[in-house]
Every structure is written in structure tokens, then in C-alpha cells.
Copies of this chain bind each other. A is one copy, B any other.
Amino acid sequence: MHIELPSWIDDVVPPPSGALREQRMRFVIELAQYSVRHGGGPFAAAIFNIESGECVGRGVNLVHILQCSMLHAEVVAIVEAERVVGAYSLSQRGRFELYSSAEPCAMCLGAIPWSGVQRLVCAARDEDIRAIGFDEGMKPQPWSEALTSRGIDVVVDVLRAEAVEVLVSYKAVGGIMYNG
């Protein structure tokens, strides 16, 4: 199977190295907006090197486009980042952070520790995602403890309102809910 990012992906320019947290999240939310506009899922993610600020991985939800339930935005970003740095754990190559336009589903929550990132930054909340009809799966509660107990920082509610707008716009255009 071949996983390829959509051809429009390079039209969305990552923030410069010294960017603020909100600028990084704005980039991720823009990816989610582009995804909806091009028939993809309303979720996006990106992985940055914490020291250099370099974006090493980008992801959008490709579940419907590639007919594969595994291709959530976080998974796609992790796959790209690990390919870029050439390691199955990013922790072997430095300190990295994962930005996601929405709090992780059960699968992505389980995937994050395996990726070797040191921090997760989220925009929309779990309940925002469920509100438009997506299933998030059964997570340990509180879900963030699955990460913080392993030394992974969790930051929530960064540009939450903007990310919720993308979710609402997806529902408004009749976007497919990719539940199993």
C-alpha cells in the first residue's frame, strides 16, 4: 500500500522556526481546512522539532480518500516524520512535538507513545469531535494520563474555537463520518 499526502499539501506553508504555539496550530488548522475543501476528513496534524522548529511531518485524515481506517491525521504525520528522520522512534533523533487539530481518538492516543514525541498540543476537544458525529473510541480516563505518565506533556485548547469551526463546516457540507 502506498500512502501519499494530497498534492495540495505544499500549498500550505509551515510556520518559521521561531513561531509561537498559536502560529503552529494555525498551520495545522489550515491543513484541516484545505482537507475539507478537497474532500478529505476535517482533521490535521504536524510534527515539529522542539529545538529547531522544523516541521518534519504533516498529516491529514485520509480515511475516506485512501479507503483505509488507519489513516488518521496523527498516524499520517507520524509515518511521514519517522520516514524523514529515518527512525521508528523520533526520540532517537531529538525532541519533537505533535500538534493535532483535535484531541486523539483511542487509536491515536495509543500510537503517540510509540512515535517518541515529547509533547502533544491539541485544539478541538474530544467532546467537539463527538458532537459532530465521530466516534473517539474507549480511552483510559483521564486520557491525558496515558501520555503524561510516560513523560509526554499535553497541552489542550490551543485555538480550540478555530478548530471547531472546521469540524462544523465539515458537517455543514455533509462530510462522511468515518466510523467502523
A137 within 8 A of B: yes
Question: In the complex, which residues of chain B have a beta carbon less than 8 angstroms from the beta carbon of A105?
Answer: 110, 114
Contact partner of A110 among B63, B67, B109, B115, CB < 8 A? B109
Interface string of A86-98 (1 = CB under 8 A from B): 1111010000000
Q: A88 contacts B68, CB within 8 Å?
A: yes
Q: How far is the CA of A146 from the CA of B109 in the complex (A)?
A: 14
Total copies of this chain within the assembly = 2
CA distance A179 to B113 in the complex (A): 8
When the two chains form their complex, are residues A70 and B114 in contact, meaning their CB atoms are under 8 A apart? yes
Complex Cα distance, B114 from A105, in Å, reads 10
State how many angstroms separate the Cβ of A115 from the closest Cβ of chain B.
Answer: 6
Known: A1-B79, A70-B79, A78-B69. A110 touches B86 (CB 8 A): no
Listed in ascending order, the chain A residues whose CB lies under 8 Å from chain B are 1-4, 63-64, 67-70, 75, 78-80, 82-83, 86-89, 91, 105-111, 113-116, 135, 137-141, 145-146, 149-150, 178-180
Q: A67-B82, A139-B140 are in contact. List 20 more A-B contacts (CB 8 A).
A: A1-B2, A2-B2, A67-B83, A68-B88, A69-B78, A69-B89, A70-B78, A70-B111, A88-B178, A89-B179, A89-B180, A105-B110, A105-B114, A107-B107, A107-B111, A110-B110, A114-B178, A138-B146, A140-B140, A140-B141
